[in-house]
Amino acid sequence: MSEQIAHLSIPGEKSRDLLARRQQVVARGLSATMNVFAAKADGAVIEDVDGNRFIDLAGGIGAMNIGHTRPEVTQAIAEQAAKFTHTCFTVMMYEPYIELAERLVKLTPGDFPKKAIFFNSGAEAVENAVKIARYATGRPAVIVFDNAYHGRTLMTMTMTAKVKPYKHRFGPYAPEVYRAPFPYPYRMNMTPEQASQACIQEIERMFVGEVAPDQVAAIIIEPVQGEGGFMVSPPGFLRDLQALCAKHGILFIADEIQTGFCRTGKMFAVEHDGVVPDLMIVAKSMGAGMPISGVIGRADIMDVPPPGTLGGTYSGNPVACAAALAVLDLYEKEDQAALSRRVGQAVLDKFTQLQQRFSFIGDVRGIGGMIAMELVKDPATKEPDAQKVGEILAAAHKRGLILIRAGMFDNVIRVLVPLCITDEQLQYALNALDEAVSSVAQPTPTAIA
């Protein structure tokens, strides 16, 4: 394994050629963490066009929990593609859509009647959850959180917190979006319980000073914040939030796009707090890379918008539904949640050891297989160190790891590895991570001089 992967000279020649072509014709607004191009993938490994093999610690940003090219999934895709690829569900309906809805209304928390609707991207599903909540409640406002990420469309960009690169110069933004604090114990210098209480109190203040609760359609939250830097809702926070929602007739919507499908060690992250949302938004790992997202929730809410108000040409595409059904079959047969906890514990242990050795690792956090570390210039001031993250990522890439960052200050390294990673691959990845972090901790020759 290490002979195949370690110390790559990247980008290789074919990737360099493709990069030159990309620069001619692909818009700059689309960034790329690595300057290499994929050729094929299997499980937790991606091979690039020059034959370099990488362990995928990013999982296509949390979309590949089940792993790359699982034969059951690719076969389901091929079989459906051979039958038909598109009719548009709003023109002529098809069974895979119905079956996926049947499976998801059972799989998601809540033993009340539920309904589902499918879209393509995560952002599209978030947009539609907001539309459904507004229509059902007749209220205009939504409350979102600091550090939130919900997408890049106009509404979801407005709901997303981070200004650069997501929002800057893309305004004016959508109206009636209010932002509450999210518990971030590390930066709030509080215990998780204190941070949680402070945030709930602030929302109560917002109901007096910013928006009347009877104007709020929904509170929308990532149970574990993804792009924002893997901040985990402290125990009880989601329950308190839901109680607040219930008190004011506000819908509680969980954005489980990054956290769903066992990423956090349970099927859905809200289950850690025993919370049943009114609506849940899913995408990413449901389709193993096929573009499919969904909103699932209380039938009495989902059914309020009348026919024609929701949908889209490709929404709930039959090939994507077939992929999702194959993924769900695998989740039924295999204990992916246990795999997630196992992988996550190994990564957490490694990050914690590294934190003991290197003071620039300010915080290590996460839950299940969703683990991150936050880098700072000085543990006392907690000044973010985005540059060191860049150096570690480059060192990790050279050692054959696909590794990405997150965080409001770009100073968080996060792991979203496919849960099928083998013991040998995981061991290699953890050693390579150790080497990558250690390599940037060495004083550079110029620093010595």
Ligand X SMILES: Cc1ncc(COP(=O)(O)O)c(C=O)c1O
Question: Using CB under 6 A, which of the segments 51-59, 255-263, 303-311, 346-354 binds ligand X?
Answer: 255-263
Question: Using CB under 6 A, which of the segments 34-42, 121-129, 271-279, 352-360 binds ligand X?
Answer: 121-129
For ligand X, what does the binding mask look like between residues 308 and 347, x meaning CB under 6 A?
Answer: ----------------------------------------
Q: Is 137 in the site for ligand X (CB under 6 A)?
A: no
**Is the preceding peptide bond at 172 cis, omega within 30 degrees of 0?**
yes
163-222: which residues touch ligand X (CB under 6 A)? 222
Q: Is 374 in the site for ligand X (CB under 6 A)?
A: no
Tell me the three state secondary structure of residue 413.
Answer: strand
Question: Binding residue for ligand X (CB under 6 A) from 11, 60, 151, 185?
Answer: 151
Residue 133 near residue 142 (C-beta atoms within 8 A)? yes
Structural tokens at position 412: 């968080």
For ligand X, what does the binding mask look like between residues 44 and 83, x meaning CB under 6 A?
Answer: -----------------x----------------------
Q: Which residue number has the CB closest to ligand X? A: 122
- Compute the distance between CA of residue 56 and CA of residue 415 in angstroms, rounded to an integer: 9
Question: Binding residue for ligand X (CB under 6 A) from 283, 292, 325, 417?
Answer: 283
Q: Is 6 exposed, middle or buried (0-12, 13-18, 19+ CB in 10 A)?
A: middle
Question: Using CB under 6 A, which of the segments 41-49, 80-88, 122-130, 206-214 binds ligand X?
Answer: 122-130
Closest by CA to 199, choosing from 222, 211, 176, 181, is 181
Question: Using CB under 6 A, which of the segments 3-11, 109-117, 145-153, 363-371 binds ligand X?
Answer: 145-153
Q: Is 226 in the site for ligand X (CB under 6 A)?
A: yes
- Compute the distance between CA of residue 419 and CA of residue 327 in angstroms, rounded to an integer: 13
DSSP characters for 314-358?
Answer: TTT-HHHHHHHHHHHHHHHHS-HHHHHHHHHHHHHHHHHHHHHH-
Question: Binding residue for ligand X (CB under 6 A) from 15, 65, 121, 315?
Answer: 121
User: With b meaning 16 or more CB within 10 Å and e meaning fewer, what string describes 157-196?
Assistant: bbbbbbeeebeeeeeeebebbbbbbbbbbbbbebebeebb
Q: Is 115 exposed, middle or buried (0-12, 13-18, 19+ CB in 10 A)?
A: middle
Question: Using CB under 6 A, which of the segments 117-125, 307-315, 323-331, 383-391 binds ligand X?
Answer: 117-125
**Which residue is listed with tokens 């205009």?**
140
Count of residues touching ligand X (by CB under 6 A): 15
- Give the residues lining the site for ligand X (CB under 6 A): 61, 121-123, 126, 149-151, 222, 226-227, 255, 257-258, 283
